[in-house]
Amino acid sequence: MHLPRAIASLRRRLGFSSLHGRPGTPSNQYSSGADPSVRGAPESTPSEVFRKPTVNDGDAKRNIKWNQQRWGQMSGWREYDQYGYRWGKGHQQSVGDLAKLADDMFRPLTRGRHDLKILEIAPGGGRFTAEIIRYARELVLVDLNEAAIDVCRERFRYYPTPITYVTNDGASLGVVQDSDFDVLVCYDSMVHMHPDIVQSYVSDLPTLLISGGFAWLDHSGRGQREAGHRTAMTRELMSDFAEEAGLIVESQPYRNDWDCISVLRKP
């Protein structure tokens, strides 16, 4: 028998489609992209193009729509925003920047504990989640957009910490079953939310937090601003919302020239 033809025939019988193929599998099956059989793996192709929001961000309802359009596309997380480390391929924050912020402004409030039950609103691609998970015995992540939740599912799937992933309506935390959280966190997300939405979330806090628990909420402190899409939230408005909800305003430091972190404690 002619040797090359004999080898080709043998390969065919064993199921090899090419010299580097694997028996019984099409040769392109392992070539690229997320494995779609893995639950939660983001599914998008590099050819997907990010589309900027088209809705005008006015009242609370349109603000939710804007936030759905802006952060609801997997191509946005993957390419346009690079998982939040480079928003719109522009403003850049390193992993170290996030670690420093968390070490300076969040960690002291944990009082050395690493067994906290934490709820995070609007985790996006999980930049701040990667910080707070170090203090958590359990995490619940709630975001308006499934695309963000899918990124987090993939990112944290190797952690042993129990994590519950939830999408919501963008205004209430009624979808969260538990009411025994030590801490509630929201970083670099409330800055994009209409004050009515922030007020709605703050009004849910007393039923979610244990007595003595606290919320750590990063929001616009000086009102609306085009740059960075800051909404009309202020430090004073946050104090009013907290007071209405029966929470104590423990501190309100600024993290930069515009954004304020309000620490609200449940008595």
Distance CA 109, CA 117 (A): 14
* Contacting residues for 32 by C-beta, under 8 A, at least 6 apart: none
CA angle at 71 for the pair 35 and 201, rounded to the nearest 5°: 120
Which residue lies nearer to ligand SAM by CB, 214 or 216? Answer: 216
From the CB of 123, what's the least distance to ligand SAM, in Å? 5
* Contacting residues for 98 by C-beta, under 8 A, at least 6 apart: 127, 128, 130, 131
Q: Of the candidates 60, 99, 52, 69, which has an alpha carbon nearest to the alpha carbon of residue 193?
A: 60
Which residue lies nearer to ligand SAM by CB, 199 or 212? Answer: 199
**Cα 238 from chain centre:** 22
Which residue lies nearer to ligand SAM by CB, 230 or 266? Answer: 230
Which residue lies nearer to ligand SAM by CB, 193 or 263? Answer: 193
SS3 letters for 26-43?
CCCCCCCCCCCCCCCCCC
From the CB of 69, what's the least distance to ligand SAM, in Å? 10
The residue ranges that bind ligand SAM (CB under 6 A) are: 64, 67, 71, 84, 121-125, 127-128, 143-145, 148, 170, 187-189, 192-193, 197
From the CB of 233, what's the least distance to ligand SAM, in Å? 12
From the CB of 191, what's the least distance to ligand SAM, in Å? 8
User: In the bound complex, which residue of the shown chain has the CB atom lying closest to ligand SAM?
Assistant: 124
Which residue lies nearer to ligand SAM by CB, 128 or 165? Answer: 128
Distance CA 252, CA 4 (A): 77
From the CB of 23, what's the least distance to ligand SAM, in Å? 43
